Chain A
Amino acid sequence: MKRYLLRRLALAIPTLFLVSVLVFALMRLMPGDVATRMVEGHAYAPTLAALRHDLGLDRPVHTQYLEWIGGIVTRGDFGRSYWTRQPILEEFMRRFPVTLELAFLTIVVSVVLGVLVGIVSAVRQDSVSDYVGRILAILALSIPYFGLAVLVVVLPSIWFKWTPVWSYVPFTTDPLENLKIMLVPAVVFGVTRAGPVMRIMRSALLEVLRQDYIRTAWSKGLAERPIILRHALKNAMIPVISLIGLQMPLYIGGSVIIESIFRLPGVGLFFFEALTRLDYPVVQSVNLIIAALVVGLNLLIDLSYAFLDPRIRY
């Protein structure tokens, strides 16, 4: 277990190094000049050259890269925004709880819906409820989440005079008010992600229910409920967990859109605003932090398999 952990961590380092090179190269090699925009549109500095010098853009590219990555590795300094001159990590940490909460609630919604419908579908295979469940899953898969989000924002406000709450309240200030704000975006996003969860749940449970140890449980005379909930479900959850792990980047990517529709001040909105202003350091660092989080999360998910299925050992 410990050796496996160390090996995985060692493998993560070159991956993250490549990630940093990739994202830095992308930002520097492509057309689009932030300095011109800052001087011409907003008069951040008297001349282009002065601003370039200020931002360090006049130095060789490899120096810039080493400075950026060196700051991260040695001081945990992810640089500052070109426009606001604020430290990026601070802003990221301030906004991260919003995105995390959104992702967490979304996953809860999609897993609860998907797993419940999936269990019913698998246990009552080929019954009417199975077909209804599978058709719902296909519908959920087909509706794009941003389309649903726009409809949920627009239609109720026309028909019922109801609008989502726009002014964000942090969880620590008023938990109840905060949940009221987060609920609609999380349900919208979660419902559209429940489709794949349901389909995986159904096929995994069907497979587990055919295994020998379930037959043993039946022949011991156990009731249906404990067999499914205590014996089968735990094993059948493994593919569901790996699906969520695989979809984690999707949840984070989707938060850009969901946060900009529902005006939630999370990392997604931070990223999108930086993007529209060509704020390279922010885009770079946010990409890198999130990639690191994804790599770490995948490791955690691999480790969770051993907990869910005692036959798995590393």
Chain B
Amino acid sequence: MPSSIHGFDTKSEGTSTASEASPRIAPDKPALEARPPGAPHRPTRPWWIDVWVRMLTGKPLGTIGGVIVVGMLTAAVLADWIAPYGYAQTSLRARFIAMSAAHWLGTDELGRDLLTRLIYGARISLYVGFGAIAIGSVLATLIGIVSGYLGGRFDLLVQRGVDAWMAFPPLLLLLSIMSLLGPSVWNITIVLGVAFGIQNSRVVRGVALLVKEHTFVESARALGAGHVRTTLTHILPNVMPTIIVVATTGLSTVILTEASLSFLGLGVPPPYPTWGGMLSLAGLDHMYRAPWLAIWPAVALSLAVFGFNMLGDALRDLLDPRLKGG
């Protein structure tokens, strides 16, 4: 049944939607909106509600991803109420207990409950993930729009800086910075945010360059709108769908990067539980005794990445078909 796997079909749909997408551009409409062939267009519904309706009806994998993400969010928000123990609550009598009624997923080398730590781990992952994405999106938008809109020598200079940044393997650069700043929740959020922002400013700039060429920008300028007004009221709304897409698809990457930094001991410091930190290199010896210490964090991390990937992919298909790729 083709429609059941519609969510990650990259090709068959891409060609048809791209040609049917009408490049109607007005500040209250996303510039790059495309609807699947045959789907009725309902102009009465605001686009940001319409997206979710179309996701629920046409993107089953995106919906599954959404459910996982909502589940994670719930766990993170309600952690204090649903977690059976405290995340740093140790018990010497309950070390290395396998899965049991008292400890559903077992305990670790200090007798801390694994389920509790996984639930609180969701909180830290999301906290760092959303924080970094928020910082990064603002930064990417700022650099991208200003660089693309102003163009000329300024653009050239900024883009060479971005080139230099992108020449590094991201993990090496992030590790270098984190080792100097020292592990902390704030540091890793800011560092990941800045890295995300610089990297994705290129995508935003690309879209800004395209939007800039439209006649409505020219007419706004001709009517006497200043540069600030033009960018805020005409360029920004049309770049917005791209930013949303980049941000959602970036979430899984940011969460994964936080996990790998914590894995190496340079992300979120103990005693905060993080999935990467729980898998960590330092705890490898304990895992031979208690394999569940390795299994559950890995499962949680994979589920989260899967959820954010699927949700991001579906949103990308619905919001900005031009970014479609592998």
Contacts and interface: CB of A to CB of B under 8 A. Distances in A.
A261 B282 CA distance: 10
A147 B171 CA distance: 16
A257 B160 CA distance: 29
B168 interface: yes
Interface stretch (A58-66, A213-221, A222-230, A247-255): A247-255
Interface stretch (B7-15, B39-47, B96-104, B230-238): B7-15
B164 A15 contact: yes
B176 A23 contact: yes
B165 A22 contact: yes
A139 B306 CA distance: 8
B326 A287 contact: no
A68 interface: no
A271 B172 contact: yes
A275 B182 CA distance: 11
A27 B173 CA distance: 11
Interface in B223-270: 256, 259-260, 263-264, 266
A55 interface: no
Given A154-B288, A257-B264, A147 B177 contact: no
B8 A138 contact: yes
B173 A142 contact: no
A203 interface: yes
A207 B326 CA distance: 13
Given A15-B164, A142-B309, A154-B291, A257 B11 contact: no
B279 A147 contact: yes
Contacts of A254: 171
Nearest to A159: B291
B203 to A, nearest CB: 14
Interface stretch (A42-50, A70-78, A289-297): A289-297
Interface stretch (A167-175, A177-185, A194-202, A301-309): A194-202
A276 interface: yes
Interface residues of B, number: 53
A157 interface: yes
Given A31-B181, A32-B182, A144-B301, A294 B167 contact: yes
Interface in B61-85: 61
Interface residues of A, number: 62
A272 interface: yes
A260 interface: yes
Contacts of B310: 138
B53 interface: no
Given A144-B298, A290-B169, A138 B284 contact: no
B323 interface: no
Contacts of A243: 326
Contacts of A23: 168, 173, 176
Interface centre among A16, A27, A148, A203 (most CB of B within 10 A): A203
A253 B176 contact: no
B297 interface: yes
A253 B291 contact: no
Contacts of A138: 8, 61, 306, 309-310
Interface centre among B182, B259, B264 (most CB of A within 10 A): B264
Contacts of A14: 160
Interface in B280-314: 281, 284, 287-288, 291, 294-295, 297-298, 301-303, 305-306, 309-310
Interface in A141-156: 141-144, 146-148, 150-151, 153-155
Contact of A278 (B160, B179, B266): B179
Contacts of B180: 26-27, 30-32, 278
A200 B297 CA distance: 29
A239 to B, nearest CB: 7
B170 A253 contact: yes
A131 interface: yes
B252 to A, nearest CB: 8
A128 B24 CA distance: 39
B260 A146 contact: yes
Nearest to B182: A32
Given A151-B295, A158-B288, 12 more contacts: A27-B176, A31-B181, A126-B2, A138-B309, A158-B291, A207-B11, A249-B168, A275-B175, A283-B176, A287-B168, A287-B172, A291-B164
22 contacts: A15-B163, A19-B164, A27-B176, A134-B5, A138-B8, A144-B260, A147-B279, A151-B295, A154-B288, A155-B295, A200-B325, A206-B12, A239-B326, A243-B326, A257-B263, A260-B281, A261-B284, A271-B172, A271-B175, A283-B179, A287-B172, A290-B169
Interface of A: 14-16, 18-19, 22-23, 26-27, 30-32, 125-126, 131, 134, 138-139, 141-144, 146-148, 150-151, 153-155, 157-158, 196, 199-200, 202-203, 206-207, 239, 243, 249-250, 252-254, 256-257, 260-261, 271-272, 275-276, 278, 283, 286-287, 290-291, 294-295
